[in-house]
Amino acid sequence: MSAISRQMSATYGFVERNWALTRRYIGWEVVWLVYGTVSTLTIGLIGADSQGLAGQERVLYLLIGALLWSYLSVLFQIMGETVAWERWEGTIEYTFMAPVHRFTYLTGQGLFAVTYGMIRTAVILGITVLWFDLDMSKANLLGGFVVLAVASVSFLGLGLVAAVLPLLSPERGPQATHIIQGLLLLCSSVYYQVTVLPGWLQPFARLNPATYALDAIRATWIGGVGLAAVWPAMIRLIATGAVLVPIGLMIFQAGERYALRTGKLKRNG
């Protein structure tokens, strides 16, 4: 077996292990699915006081923002709790000493996070469409999910940065990942147009991959356009992902070396 085949097999192994952990705690997964659905419905109800097409567009605008926020939360939760899960399961020493490249390990974590997040988002979307009786006949649903998949590369790069926080602080690191989520929420068009932000924050919003992902998904799901129409946003997302993933990997490896040197890797609190 070639080195590439071994690494690919190891990547799938990490995906399979995370799926096994999800099945073990399936009750809690259902709880969080219900929580995510209720949160999305609550945001949608803000726009439900309008009537007609404009009212539907307003509801969809808010729902898409809530769905992406829920999706981001899942990605950051899985990536941010990577080290925490290893500590809880007592496998952290075996995993970090295994002859597997760290990129392979993190890729497996990321693939599971994206797959799980996509399924969860599709379920919540189906429930919200039925709840608000939305007409999605003209929506390009597949195009929207393709945009979300492309944007996920950038989000995973940021997730790698978030994953280093539990390495640096076993006690408060996992909670600190919410800081990065909050900044993404603030500097994007999740619930409002970027133009309403203060002038000094708008440049940060233009660098935020969530802004371009939201614009493209809204164009496909509300406007019904094809991927060719949102290709400029896709190019930005691809370029952002190509930059953020290597940076995130380097930051995670630097954090791992620091944790090993200071003895924080094995600590449970």
Count of CB atoms within 10 A of residue 143's CB?
21
Q: Which of 107, 84, 205 is nearest to 153 (CA)?
A: 107
Q: Which of 73, 76, 100 is nearest to 17 (CA)?
A: 100
> Quick check: 40 and 70 in contact, CB under 8 A?
yes
Tokens read off for 245: 């993933």
Which position has the token pair 């899942």?
Answer: 74
Confidence (pLDDT) at 42: 57
Q: Is 238 exposed, middle or buried (0-12, 13-18, 19+ CB in 10 A)?
A: middle
The model carries a pTM of 0.77
Q: Is residue 53's pLDDT more than 50?
A: no
Residue 44 CA from chain centroid, whole number: 20
pLDDT per position as a tens digit, 94-150: 677 777 777 787 888 888 889 999 999 999 999 988 888 888 888 999 999 999 999
Cα–Cα distance between 213 and 216 in angstroms, integer? 5
